[in-house]
C-alpha cells in the first residue's frame, strides 16, 4: 500500500521545536560532549563581550543539582522592546529565537566567536529551566523559562547600582541528556584556553558538588566518555577517553579546595596578562627551549572596510614534534584553514631565506622543508576577523581566502625582523632545522632500506603476528599484547575469524626522545607498523589500515601502564590519524576474580570488589588478584576481556591536542622534575600499588 505524501505530510517546526526534536543537529550529541557544549555556548557570549572590550571577568559555577550558572560583567543583554517582534523584550527574543543576536550585522559586535555555534537559545531549549538576569542602567531584570518557553514576563527585581552584566543559570533537561555529570577537568581545560586567548580576562570555575567516587561498570568513564552500550546485562560496553586522560586525570588543573580538602567543593581561576605568550610558556614548561626569547608579534589591516588582526607567539624546544595551534575569533580551528596555511608558508620561506643569506645552507643543499622548520616548534596563531567563514560540518576550519595572504605577509615581516635582531636565537633555530633535515634524509634512507628488506611492506607481516581470517578491515581487530605469555593466552582465547594477536616483547622505544630514523630501527615498532599496514609519518595511509580496531591490552600493573603509555606515545606522535579515525582502543582486563559457591565473579577496580563483596557476602569467598594477563587462562581472558558481548573497551580520542601534548611531555619527556611533581601530587590517589 502506497503511503500518502502530499502537503499534509510537510511538518513545520516553530520556534525552538527543531532543537528539542533533533538536539544532536545543534550540539553534536546528547552525551558528554553535548552536555558540556551548553556551557561553552553561554561562555562564548560572555567572551564576545570581552572581545568587544566590555567584559573583564566571567564566573562559572556548577551546583550540586547539576545546574550551571555563568555570570559576566559585560554590558548586559538589551532589555528594551523590539517593535518588529511584537514589542517583546530583546532578551526574550535572544533566548527564544534561533537566529537572533547582536552578531548578524549592525554595530553590536565587530568580532565574534559566537557565530560558529548555535546560540544561547539552544541552551534554553534543552534546559529543564533557565533563568536569565540582566543588570543594565541601574536595574536588575529577571525572566524564567522552562524547556525554552517563557513562564514569567521580564520583571524588574531590584536595583544594581553601577553593577552590570548578564547571568544565565540553567539545568540541562534530563529528558534530553544521558547524564548530567559535568566534569570539572573538561570545563577547566576549555576555560583555561579561553583565558590564554583573551589577555587579562579573569575566568573562575567553581564546583560546589561533593566529589564522591562512583562505582560504575568497568571501563565506562563517567568523566571522559559516553557510554556506548548498557552498563547492565550483556552486550559490549565501552567509553571514550581522551588520549591524555588515558594516562592521567586532572593533572592539568591547579585547583583550590574550598574548606573540605580533596573530594569537596573546589575552584580554579585563570587570568593571563601575557595572553598567548603565557600559553606558549605553559606548553613548553616541561620541555627544553633552545632559545631564550619567545617570539611574539601582532599585525592588523583593513580589507574591504573590515578589520583583520593576527597575533603569534612561538618558541622552539629540543623535542622532535611540532605543536602549532590555530584559532579564529577564539575558536580552536583543529582542521586549520587559510590562516594556518599562510603561517606555515611564511615560516618555511622566511627561515630558508635567512639560512641561505647567512650561509647556513650551501648553494647545492636542498631547501629546508616545512617539516624541518617546524620540528620542536610550539606556536599559537590567533586571528580576529569580522566575518569568519568556517568550512565543514564541525566549523573548525577557517575558509576566508583573504586571511592567508594577510597572515603570510605579517609573519614574513615580523619573523624576519626577529631573526635579524636576535642572531643568537636565529642560529639556534636554524641549526635545529638543519639537524631535522639531515635526520629526515636519514629516515628516508632507512625507510627505503627497510622497504627493500620488505619489513614495512604490507605483503610481509611480522612472523609473530597471529592474523585473523577475515579480510574486511572494518570487521577486524588487532590486539597489541604485552609479552609472549599473555600473547599465548590471547592466541588461544581469541576468535580467529576476526581477532589478530601481536605479542610485543618488552618495552618499545620511547619515541618522545628519538627521531624517526632511530624509531624505525626498533623491532617492536617495525612489527606494529607492518601489522597495521598504514606505514608511518609522512607516508601514512589510513586507507591501507588492515584493522579498524587496534586494541592495547597490557597488564594491570605499573609495567603494564608504562608499556601502554609507550604505545600511546608512539601512536600519538607518529600515527595520529589512527586515533583521530577512532581506531585505537584500550582493553579493560579485570583486577580480581572472586569465587563464591562454585561461581566466578570479576571486579575491575577496588571499588567494584568492595561492592561485590558487600552484595555476595565475605564468608567462604576466594579472591584472586590478577597481576598479569598471563595469569588468566584462555577461557577467563575471552570471557572478561576479549568477548565482544561482554568486554569493555575504551576508545582513545584527541579532544584537545594541547592537553595531550602536555601529558606526553610530562610523563615521557627528558625533564625529570615535572614527572616527579606529578607523582608527588597524585600519589595520594593511589590505593594499591604493585611494584
Please give the positions annotated as active site.
Answer: 482, 555, 557, 559
Mapped onto helix, strand or coil, the DSSP state of residue 8 is helix
Residue pair 93/78 in contact (Cβ under 8 Å)? The answer is no
* H or E segment to which residue 603 belongs: strand 599-603
Mapped onto helix, strand or coil, the DSSP state of residue 37 is helix
CA 306 – CA 658 distance, rounded (Å): 31
Query: Comparing C-alpha atoms, which of 206, 236, 207, 195 is closest to residue 219?
Result: 236
Name the DSSP letter for residue 284: T
| Dihedral of alpha carbons 104, 107, 113, 118, sign | negative
- Beta-bridged to residue 331, according to DSSP, are 328
Q: What is the largest CA-CA distance in the chain?
A: 82
Query: Comparing C-alpha atoms, which of 47, 86, 293, 8 is closest to residue 194?
Result: 47
Name the DSSP letter for residue 369: P
- 181 burial level (CB within 10 Å; 0-12, 13-18, 19+): middle
CA 417 – CA 396 distance, rounded (Å): 31
Name the DSSP letter for residue 639: I
Residue pair 20/30 in contact (Cβ under 8 Å)? The answer is no
Mapped onto helix, strand or coil, the DSSP state of residue 553 is strand
- Measured in Å, how far apart are the chain's first and last C-alpha atoms? 70
Query: Comparing C-alpha atoms, which of 19, 15, 395, 360 is closest to residue 175?
Result: 19
CA 219 – CA 367 distance, rounded (Å): 49
Count CB atoms within 10 A of the CB of residue 252: 19
- Beta-bridged to residue 141, according to DSSP, are 134, 156
Half-sphere CA count of 338, side-chain side, radius 13 A: 19
Query: Comparing C-alpha atoms, which of 211, 210, 215, 213 is closest to residue 614?
Result: 215
CA 239 – CA 223 distance, rounded (Å): 10
DSSP secondary structure of 117-136: S--HHHHHHTEEEEEEEEEE
Mapped onto helix, strand or coil, the DSSP state of residue 473 is helix
- Beta-bridged to residue 142, according to DSSP, are 133, 155
> Helical H runs in 575-671?
576-580, 606-616, 634-637, 657-668
The full length of the chain comes to: 691
Query: Comparing C-alpha atoms, which of 161, 160, 162, 182 is closest to residue 171?
Result: 182
Cell of 110: 565587530
DSSP secondary structure of 579-595: HHTT-EEEE---SEEEE
* H or E segment to which residue 266 belongs: strand 266-270
Amino acid at each position: 500500500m502506497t503511503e500518502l505524501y502530499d502537503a499534509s505530510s510537510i511538518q513545520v517546526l516553530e520556534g525552538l521545536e527543531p532543537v528539542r526534536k533533533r538536539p544532536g543537529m545543534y550540539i553534536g550529541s546528547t552525551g558528554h560532549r553535548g552536555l558540556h557544549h551548553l556551557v561553552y555556548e553561554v561562555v562564548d557570549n560572555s567572551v564576545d563581550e570581552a572581545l568587544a572590550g566590555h567584559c573583564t571577568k566571567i564566573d562559572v559555577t556548577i551546583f550540586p543539582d547539576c545546574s550551571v550558572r555563568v555570570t559576566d560583567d559585560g554590558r548586559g543583554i538589551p532589555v528594551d522592546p523590539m517593535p518588529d517582534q511584537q514589542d517583546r523584550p530583546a532578551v526574550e527574543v535572544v533566548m527564544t529565537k534561533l537566529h537572533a543576536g547582536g552578531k548578524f550585522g549592525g554595530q553590536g559586535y565587530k568580532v565574534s566567536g559566537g557565530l560558529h555555534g548555535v546560540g544561547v537559545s539552544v541552551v534554553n531549549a534543552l534546559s529543564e529551566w533557565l533563568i536569565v538576569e540582566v543588570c543594565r542602567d541601574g536595574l536588575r531584570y529577571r525572566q524564567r523559562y522552562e524547556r525554552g518557553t517563557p513562564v514569567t514576563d521580564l520583571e524588574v527585581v531590584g536595583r544594581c547600582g553601577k553593577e552590570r552584566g548578564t547571568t544565565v543559570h540553567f539545568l540541562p533537561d534530563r529528558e534530553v541528556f544521558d547524564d548530567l555529570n559535568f566534569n570539572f577537568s573538561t570545563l577547566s581545560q576549555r576555560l583555561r584556553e579561553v583565558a590564554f586567548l583573551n589577555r587579562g580576562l579573569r575566568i573562575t570555575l567553581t564546583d560546589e558538588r561533593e566529589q564522591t567516587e562512583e562505582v560504575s561498570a568497568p571501563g565506562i568513564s563517567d568523566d571522559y566518555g559516553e557510554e556506548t552500550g548498557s552498563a547492565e546485562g550483556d552486550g559490549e560496553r565501552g567509553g571514550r577517553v581522551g588520549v591524555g586522560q588515558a594516562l592521567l586525570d586532572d593533572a592539568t588543573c591547579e585547583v583550590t579546595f574550598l574548606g573540605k580538602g580533596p573530594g569537596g567543593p573546589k575552584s580554579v581561576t585563570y587570568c593571563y596578562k601575557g595572553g598567548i605568550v603565557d600559553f606558549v610558556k605553559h606548553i613548553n614548561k616541561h620541555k627544553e627551549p633552545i632559545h631564550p626569547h619567545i617570539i611574539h608579534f601582532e599585525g592588523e589591516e583593513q580589507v574591504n572596510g573590515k578589520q583583520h588582526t593576527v597575533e603569534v607567539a612561538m618558541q622552539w624546544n629540543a623535542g622532535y614534534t611540532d605543536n602549532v595551534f590555530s584559532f579564529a575569533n577564539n575558536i580552536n580551528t583543529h582542521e586549520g584553514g587559510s590562516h594556518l596555511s599562510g603561517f606555515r608558508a611564511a615560516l618555511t620561506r622566511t627561515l630558508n631565506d635567512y639560512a641561505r643569506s647567512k650561509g647556513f645552507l650551501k648553494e647545492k643543499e636542498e631547501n629546508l622543508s616545512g617539516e624541518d622548520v617546524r620540528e620542536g616548534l610550539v606556536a599559537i596563531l590567533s586571528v580576529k576577523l569580522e566575518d569568519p567563514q568556517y568550512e565543514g560540518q564541525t566549523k573548525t576550519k577557517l575558509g576566508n581566502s583573504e586571511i592567508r595572504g594577510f597572515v603570510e605577509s605579517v609573519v614574513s615581516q615580523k619573523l624576519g625582523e626577529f631573526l635579524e635582531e636576535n642572531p643568537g636565537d636565529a642560529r639556534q633555530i636554524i641549526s635545529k632545522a638543519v639537524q631535522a633535515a639531515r635526520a629526515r634524509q636519514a629516515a628516508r634512507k632507512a625507510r627505503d632500506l627497510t622497504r627493500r628488506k620488505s619489513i614495512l611492506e604490507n605483503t610481509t607481516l611480522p612472523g609473530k603476528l597471529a592474523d585473523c581470517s577475515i579480510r574486511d578491515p572494518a570487521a577486524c581487530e588487532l590486539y597489541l599484547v604485552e609479552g609472549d605469555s599473555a600473547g599465548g593466552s590471547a592466541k588461544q582465547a581469541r576468535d580467529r575469524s576476526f581477532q589478530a594477536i601481536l605479542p610485543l616483547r618488552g618495552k618499545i622505544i620511547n619515541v618522545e626522545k628519538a627521531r624517526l630514523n632511530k624509531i624505525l630501527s626498533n623491532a617492536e615498532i617495525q612489527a606494529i607498523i607492518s601489522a597495521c599496514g598504514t606505514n608511518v609519518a609522512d607516508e601514512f595511509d589510513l586507507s591501507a589500515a588492515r584493522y579498524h580496531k587496534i586494541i592495547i591490552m597490557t597488564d594491570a600493573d605499573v609495567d603494564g601502564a608504562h608499556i601502554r603509555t609507550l604505545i600511546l606515545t608512539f601512536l600519538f606522535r607518529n600515527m595520529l590519524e589512527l586515533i583521530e579515525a577512532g581506531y585505537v582502543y584500550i582493553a579493560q582486563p579485570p583486577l580480581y576474580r572472586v569465587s563464591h559457591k562454585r561461581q566466578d565473579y570479576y571486579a575491575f577496580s577496588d571499588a567494584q570488589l568492595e561492592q561485590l563483596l558487600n552484595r555476595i557476602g565475605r564468608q567462604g569467598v576466594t579472591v584472586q588478584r590478577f597481576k598479569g594477563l598471563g595469569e588468566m587462562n584462555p577461557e577467563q581472558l575471552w570471557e572478561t576481556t576479549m568477548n565482544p558481548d561482554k568486554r569493555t573497551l575504551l576508545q582513545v580520542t584527541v579532544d584537545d591536542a594541547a592537553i595531550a601534548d602536555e601529558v606526553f611531555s610530562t610523563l615521557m619527556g627528558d625533564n625529570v622534575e615535572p614527572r616527579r611533581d606529578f607523582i608527588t601530587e597524585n600519589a595520594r590517589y593511589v590505593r594499591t600499588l604493585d611494584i
